[in-house]
Structure 1
Amino acid sequence: MTVAWRALVALLALACGACGSLSALERDRAAAIAVQARSVEVACQAADACASPSPLRELGVRAAAASTPEQPRHYALLLDYGQDALVSRLDLIRGAQRSIDLQTYIFDEDDAGHLVLDELLAAVRRGVRVRMLVDQLSALRQVDTLAALASAHANFELRIYNPVLGRARISYPMYAWAAACCWRRLNQRMHGKLLLVDGLVGITGGRNYQDDYYDWNPEFNFRDRDVLVGGPATADMAANFEAFWDAPLSVPVERLDDVGGYLLREGAPALPQWPYQDPDRVAIVSRTADDDALVRERLADAAMPVGDVLFIGDLPQKHRRDREAAAAAVHASPLLHNLIESAQEEVLLQTPYLVLSKQAQAMFSRMHERASPPRVIVSTNSLAATDSFITYALSYKYKRRYLRDFGFEIHEFKPFPEDAPIDLEATGAVDISWNADGSVNIGEPQTPTDAAAPRAPQGRAGLAGSGSGSGGGSDGDGRREPPLSREYAALRYAGVGVHERVPLQRAGVRFGLHAKSLVIDRRIGVVGTHNFDPRGDDYNTESAVIIEDPAFARALADSIRRDIAPENAWVIARRDKPPVFSGLEYSLAKVSEHLPVFDLWPVRYATSYEFQPGPQCPAPLPPFDPGFRACHEPVGDFPEVNLGFRSLLTRIFTAFGAGLAPIL
């Protein structure tokens, strides 16, 4: 037997040995242990469950009172800042009087996750029913925590969606086994995010429950967006949540093999006392959420009165084997595609991962071929900002197609944006220093080595132990090990570098785009979970809020345009033509691009440009404007990136990544 076969047999043996299934009787016994341990004590007997005053919940009450079946009224609030998004959640949870339904893709055991758990359990103890539904691949990381939550209180229920191998958590060997036996099911994830309080107010959008989404990570955070909605549309949110909650793929956590086995061995554990890594920061945001006047002034009063609001969401039947039943459960993608194709003047599209499905490519091609095609402006990540290296590599492969065949105007988010809705102070980074151009460094600027992943810069001592990292465990040298917790988690273990951020030329608190939004013709705004990619079309279940209101669309467009401003993004445009044989070079590159495997042409059609303001260039110009080149300087294909050997990896993934497009 060869060494490779021995390794494979050992791997499968380890995987199978670690995932022995409980019998039906054992599952029942484990569930009984959890149910019997649940407290039934309720600290408040008042009809409102002693809820705190909530200015944001009041929006839902007011909208419901003003609505009629013929004329619904809503309030909508864009949540761009991470701190606003967290405070809004705390305000609603503390103001809940009857029920809280929480659905999410990621729920990590870091400060943000623990804070929300504390608030949910406090609501439970005063009499509020809480239901929490989390996708398996990115659920809480500790089995004992899951067992404790399963046993915590009669008012609290936790279910795990699509638990491959019948477990809440899977290890590396188990993941390999699951990929071998059940690759399609492993990729079918619940990507929806929803917080619904009393059926009156809901929050949905890109944010999960992890420090990275609330500006609480000293190394990398997501620039994200949610929308809070109060009014009749929350009934559709509630119906969609119920469909997932009752789905066969949503399993009570106590009935899973690892959690059930823990309950059978150890009994019902007490809830752990999870100390906050940055208690002062947690205390500040908690006090802010208690400040009724501040929440009202900054958030509730900023909510916009709007008319019709449409919530669309895929159903869990999308993950059935029956193709007809699965197709009937897909709601988000067809509606979003139809909405985009209805545009007459302008499409403003924001997605962190610019990888388009075949259907989307055909749609944008048709739109570009119109006699008067709409302008299509795209906000996405640069390689320096993205958390998904391989996804960017595939996007890089198709830049020519995006620009020339679809007419896209692409703006790539910078890792150190100068004017983005972020809270640098909240990150907890220390020894912050500023460069002459206004960008930020932690400690002194330094250049990471080409051959290795970036190490913690000088001046960051102790941060790895602060718990404000990426949410994974800390390894021996203090660096954070990234958890299985990104949008493309099913590819997390596919190879080195899939979700490893590339090293940069200087140190600093890095930010990456994660918002998924759309504005059509300055009158329709969309905020949701769909990345407008093949995964969203074919694998993940997605959701979105669609609001046809010029004022809301304008506010959303302003937010996206801020992200694509020159201080926050580079613009992608055709590189300067070579002095000779430019037509031949273009033709060869185009032929190579269409090859599914051996795309090895060394020169790409487009590159990144930086706006150069001056008397003749008072404002940026679109990349197709004849004067564009006079006002923009090329800064290379991968600005800010210190690739070294990574450049070779980029070429490899560019050459061979096309086959991964359906699951990217």
Structure 2
Amino acid sequence: MSGAIRALLLCVFALSQTACATLSTYEQAQVEIRVAVARSVEIDCNREDACARPSPLRALGERAAGLTPSTVADDPSVVAAAPAAGLAEDAPPAPAATAPASASPPQHYALMLDYGQDALLARLDLIRGAQRAIDIQTYIFDEDDAGHLILDELLIAAKRGVKVRLLVDQLAALKRVDTVAALAGAHVNFEMRVYNPVLGRARFGYPMYALASACCWRRLNQRMHNKLIVVDGLVGVTGGRNYQNDYFDWDARYNFRDRDILVAGPAVADMQAHFEAFWDAPLSTPLTRLSDVGRLVLRQGVPKLQHPAPEQPRRIELIGRDADDAALVRSRLVDAAMPVRDLRYIGDLPEKHDAVDDRNATSSPLLRDLIDTADERVLLQTPYLVLSKPAQRMFHALQQRSSPPRVVISTNSLAATDAFIPYALSYKYKRRYLRDYKFEIYEFKPFPQDAPIDVEATGTVDIAWDADGTPSVLGSGGSGAGSGSGYRGIGDGSRSPDRPTPLAREYSALRYSKRGSNEQVPLKRGGVRFGLHAKSLVIDDRVGVIGTHNFDPRGDTYNTEALVVIDDPAFARALAASIERDMAPANAWMIARRDKPPVFSGLEYSLAKVSELLPLFDFWPVRYATSYEFTPGPDCPAPMSPRDPHFRRCYEPVGDFPEVAPVIRPLTRIFTAFGAGLAPIL
């Protein structure tokens, strides 16, 4: 055995001993004692409503529950509507109350949160209006302006007397062990747990990640992808957004066009019950039981919670001021909530991670069953168009019908995506998607011109508002997108440092590759760009779905996911209009078959198909499809289907990877050729 190999093995052995070392019983007891002593017990309020300020969104929850503000303030029966799983056993007791006879019967309200600033405003309104309990479950919680803002608000609520619980997946939890240790001892009303801490740690770097990959590959990939916030058992929010700047249009380089759904009504009880199931799951680990947190506490005690100076203090001040403006919250959010007739919350439970297959999965079979009911159109929006084997079989069967429904897909382009590897795999199967499954694919542009985004909030532009309410861009970071949310001037015009995003997103298990799966590819021009992150589905303009599921293999077998399913034509049409806006020519390219070569077109197609079917070495140089730009004119008044006989009259090819710098194109083709084996974890 060579010296180099022997040294490598010794390093691996030493690392494994360090990484897997747990605290002794005595050390664990000492950690618990130190954290318990450090926790503040100070309560700033002695009122039964925890000195909550009036919340229009919480009031919407009261209305949906058939309760009036005067009777719901300390009514635990709202939360107890969930099956046995309400607040934790140690939650402060409150006297029961009964809704008056004049109260309206329970019903559901649903509010789509398309704008990032609306989504942040809703969270702040709910947190500041909470009177008893705030439960948050999320995949990513970053230590940036957005993450720090929410953490500070949660701790303020805890000091008011609100019971706060925060459950975060390990791979995307807070990035500093000091922060996690500080939160362990922050306040008696604040409790945080980490889901599935591989190697028993809150955080680990690349060497330990490599060890975890070698010893525990499946467990490493089993992630809690659910996102949920429930306040007082009255209002719940789920959808695509995590707690990070780029989910709220606060990043100066790259932001997500995302979508959440706010729910008020009986289904919130199911949201609460699902949170309880995850909170009590064996994989949900209290912070004091994490070895790196415990050793830090033993070494230096419980640190104080410290944040670096915010990148843009002005926008934090302004969004906080907006959250206290009840009239603004009502006009922007409450007034936009829709009464809906049939709403369900469906979520995978932690037991999904107990099985070696997807027998305990709930969300994936439900999605396939819903799609199978379509008669006219399936409208699907996903950031990563990589289909699992069951999904491929379903779409293939759909096309065997005598009158199959249209299948319209909104997804990312290579220029817009934050997940380079999944796009390369999607690129490999474009022929199958277009020809076999008859997909109509629209790929989101990195600089959309008419999307529900707040360019002003990124801090890269200044916007003035004209008398008629339209925005005027005064300075630009290069986006060219000019739509704002209508807020007071958020953003101070400064630009945050050009730094990589610190945490992985959907594909954490690949984030240590040379080109991280969450890293954006270089473009031909600069500027703040946007990528799709919304996960939504509309069936026949009658059923709408918003959730966390990317309709991908990870969601089928590895990640736990959650969905809100609404059987209501008005809501389905509103959701469809939101997705169709993302597919408009100003915001997306159409994907269609490239022009046939003048000779041997049949032979070229056959060879390309054979190459695609190979698990590796798919090196055929010419792909079946390419990107097209709509060119309006007298003969082309509106966009059309790629199957329209006049399609090429109105659409011009713009290449396979428009806007992408040439240097990245060969790498994309390499992953297309060799990356098929990665599909199960994408």
Deviation at 1:275, TM superposition (A): 2.6
Deviation at 1:24, TM superposition (A): 3.1
Greater Cα offset, 136-145 or 9-18: 9-18
Distance in 1 between the 2:462 and 2:43 partners? 46
State the match for 2:443 in structure 1: 412
Verify the 8 A CA contact 2:462 2:474 in the aligned structure 1.
no
State the match for 1:56 in structure 2: 57
Alpha-carbon spacing, 1:12–1:113, altered in 2? closer, same or farther (3 Å):
farther
Alignment of 1:94-109 (within 5 A): 94-109=128-143
Greater Cα offset, 271-280 or 609-618: 271-280
Superposed structure 1 runs of 4+ greater than 4 Å apart = 2-9, 66-72, 438-441
Tell me if 1:363 matches 2:391.
Answer: no
Alignment of 1:592-603 (within 5 A): 592-603=611-622
Distance in 2 between the 1:66 and 1:45 partners? 24
Distance in 1 between the 2:60 and 2:535 partners? 24
Q: CA offsets per residue over residues 571-614 of structure 1, 9 Å max, x none? A: 00000000000000001101110000111111100000000000
Alpha-carbon spacing, 1:356–1:662, altered in 2? closer, same or farther (3 Å):
same
Distance in 2 between the 1:8 and 1:652 partners? 31
Alpha-carbon spacing, 1:415–1:439, altered in 2? closer, same or farther (3 Å):
farther
Instruction: Count the aligned residue pairs.
Output: 628
State the match for 1:20 in structure 2: 21
Letter in 2 for 1:525: G
State the match for 2:40 in structure 1: 39
State the match for 2:209 in structure 1: 175
Deviation at 1:254, TM superposition (A): 1.5
State the match for 1:442 in structure 2: 477
Letter in 1 for 2:260: D
Alignment of 1:22-421 (within 5 A): 22-65=23-66, 73-320=107-354, 322-323=355-356, 327-421=358-452
Deviation at 1:278, TM superposition (A): 0.9
Tell me if 1:648 matches 2:661.
Answer: no
Alpha-carbon spacing, 1:4–1:226, altered in 2? closer, same or farther (3 Å):
farther
Q: CA offsets per residue over residues 391-420 of structure 1, 9 Å max, x none? A: 100000000000000010000000000000
Q: CA offsets per residue over residues 175-216 of structure 1, 9 Å max, x none? A: 010001101000000000001000110000000000000000
Verify the 8 A CA contact 2:455 2:461 in the aligned structure 1.
no
Verify the 8 A CA contact 1:106 1:134 in the aligned structure 2.
yes
Alpha-carbon spacing, 1:582–1:9, altered in 2? closer, same or farther (3 Å):
farther
Alpha-carbon spacing, 1:581–1:491, altered in 2? closer, same or farther (3 Å):
same
Deviation at 1:273, TM superposition (A): 4.5
Q: Which of 610, 614, 619 lines up with 2:629 in the alignment? A: 610
Greater Cα offset, 499-508 or 219-228: 499-508
SS at match of 1:173: helix
Alpha-carbon spacing, 1:109–1:2, altered in 2? closer, same or farther (3 Å):
same
SS at match of 1:390: helix
Verify the 8 A CA contact 2:66 2:106 in the aligned structure 1.
no
Verify the 8 A CA contact 1:524 1:548 in the aligned structure 2.
yes
Letter in 2 for 1:38: R
Distance in 2 between the 1:194 and 1:377 partners? 28
Alpha-carbon spacing, 1:213–1:352, altered in 2? closer, same or farther (3 Å):
same
Alpha-carbon spacing, 1:399–1:92, altered in 2? closer, same or farther (3 Å):
same
Alpha-carbon spacing, 1:419–1:439, altered in 2? closer, same or farther (3 Å):
farther
Distance in 2 between the 1:439 and 1:595 partners? 52
Verify the 8 A CA contact 2:194 2:284 in the aligned structure 1.
yes
Q: CA offsets per residue over residues 97-154 of structure 1, 9 Å max, x none? A: 1000000000000000000001100100000000000000000011111111110111
Greater Cα offset, 57-66 or 248-257: 57-66
Letter in 2 for 1:632: Y
Distance in 2 between the 1:213 and 1:156 partners? 24
SS at match of 2:65: helix
Verify the 8 A CA contact 1:99 1:198 in the aligned structure 2.
yes
Deviation at 1:20, TM superposition (A): 2.9
SS at match of 2:164: strand
Letter in 1 for 2:266: P
Distance in 1 between the 2:16 and 2:208 partners? 5
Deviation at 1:29, TM superposition (A): 2.0
Verify the 8 A CA contact 1:105 1:192 in the aligned structure 2.
yes
Alpha-carbon spacing, 1:461–1:3, altered in 2? closer, same or farther (3 Å):
farther
Q: CA offsets per residue over residues 209-242 of structure 1, 9 Å max, x none? A: 0000000001000000000000000011011100
Letter in 2 for 1:94: R
Verify the 8 A CA contact 2:460 2:475 in the aligned structure 1.
no
Distance in 2 between the 1:239 and 1:11 partners? 42
Verify the 8 A CA contact 2:376 2:405 in the aligned structure 1.
yes
Deviation at 1:494, TM superposition (A): 3.4
SS at match of 1:65: coil
Distance in 2 between the 1:99 and 1:464 partners? 35
SS at match of 1:621: coil
Alignment of 1:576-591 (within 5 A): 576-591=595-610
Q: CA offsets per residue over residues 259-283 of structure 1, 9 Å max, x none? A: 1111111112222254322110100
Verify the 8 A CA contact 1:431 1:442 in the aligned structure 2.
no
SS at match of 1:546: strand
Deviation at 1:255, TM superposition (A): 1.2
Alpha-carbon spacing, 1:168–1:415, altered in 2? closer, same or farther (3 Å):
same
Letter in 2 for 1:591: V
Distance in 2 between the 1:512 and 1:2 partners? 48
Alpha-carbon spacing, 1:66–1:265, altered in 2? closer, same or farther (3 Å):
closer
Unaligned runs of at least 5 residues, structure 2:
69-77, 82-103, 464-472, 481-491
Deviation at 1:38, TM superposition (A): 1.1
SS at match of 1:587: helix
The root-mean-square deviation of aligned C-alpha atoms, in Å, is 2.2
Letter in 1 for 2:444: F
Letter in 2 for 1:158: M
Alignment of 1:568-583 (within 5 A): 568-583=587-602
State the match for 2:71 in structure 1: none
Alpha-carbon spacing, 1:587–1:353, altered in 2? closer, same or farther (3 Å):
same
**Identity value in percent:** 68
SS at match of 2:566: strand
Deviation at 1:431, TM superposition (A): 8.8
State the match for 2:539 in structure 1: 520
Deviation at 1:44, TM superposition (A): 1.0
State the match for 1:566 in structure 2: 585
Greater Cα offset, 182-191 or 42-51: 42-51
Unaligned runs of at least 5 residues, structure 1:
433-437, 446-459, 466-478
SS at match of 2:662: coil
Distance in 2 between the 1:131 and 1:347 partners? 38
Deviation at 1:439, TM superposition (A): 13
Distance in 1 between the 2:459 and 2:16 partners? 39
Letter in 2 for 1:649: L
Distance in 2 between the 1:444 and 1:524 partners? 34
Letter in 2 for 1:166: G
Tell me if 1:637 matches 2:672.
Answer: no
SS at match of 1:305: strand
Verify the 8 A CA contact 2:358 2:556 in the aligned structure 1.
no
TM-score by length of 1: 0.91
Tell me if 1:662 matches 2:680.
Answer: yes
Distance in 1 between the 2:479 and 2:256 partners? 23
State the match for 1:456 in structure 2: none
Letter in 2 for 1:656: F
Distance in 1 between the 2:152 and 2:671 partners? 43
TM-score by length of 2: 0.89
SS at match of 2:513: coil
SS at match of 1:442: coil
Alpha-carbon spacing, 1:8–1:344, altered in 2? closer, same or farther (3 Å):
farther
Deviation at 1:485, TM superposition (A): 2.1
Letter in 2 for 1:348: L
Greater Cα offset, 140-149 or 355-364: 140-149
